[in-house]
Structure 1
């Protein structure tokens, strides 16, 4: 374990640190591509995802999360394939950090910005900002999200005109 977050990791920790930082980077890339399978593979089977919005907190397990996000990820894929079909939501992660790391788990965080963009619509605009914080676990030599909390400064805009999937109360 590092005594200070800015302490240089030991040479034994460096491969794990790179894997952790890559996980944080690929997270938003999978979302932007609408790759639900890739995104879902980043979570441990027993993961808990806590969505903290100004109107409430929604803790969900992995199965519920994936079921609730399935329709949203389809929209991401559709809108990436056909940019004229509507606004896209882009996840931008910055300031990734590892606050604590040991051989089998780590505490991490990133700053999140959601940007709305459309080729024929208004200029891109920031929809919401916030943070992701959580604990990763190392299982079978793979780092996975075990506890994940997203906290936004405002409720993000809906990605669709109709009602959200019933398993995605946070998308209403």
Structure 2
């Protein structure tokens, strides 16, 4: 699938998918800050991570863009080997839709595109997590076909 030609009509909001470039960083930072608004993000540190992600062949980041070029959504993930699936798995770590684009199929289009990429890469499964308070997102993921499979834990180092 060609990244620039992969168009999908999403309930009246046609979007195209473009792989992230360094020029897209301001948009990515806005998405990140809006989703995790309880965190403080240093722009230089976040940019350094962004640069590593776009350079890593085992990571992806792409945007859903409207016909006018505006950013509607962003998706970031990684491919990794796991014993759980005895093979390659796709972890969708960020799926963010701009507030004014929500409810118009953009999230579904982003997930469709991410999972198509994972399948073409040879992944056996896809996994994601979602913060406990994000119940609307949980409903969306379950409606899409994801199943609750575990509790997630984290520890800051």
Give the TM-score band, short-chain normalised.
Answer: 0.3 to 0.5
**Which is higher, the Rg of structure 1 or of structure 2?**
1
Identify the structure with the greater helix proportion: 2
Higher relative contact order (CA 8 A, sep 6+): 1
Identify the structure with the greater strand proportion: 1
Q: TM-score, normalised to structure 2's length?
A: 0.34
Q: TM-score, normalised to structure 1's length?
A: 0.32
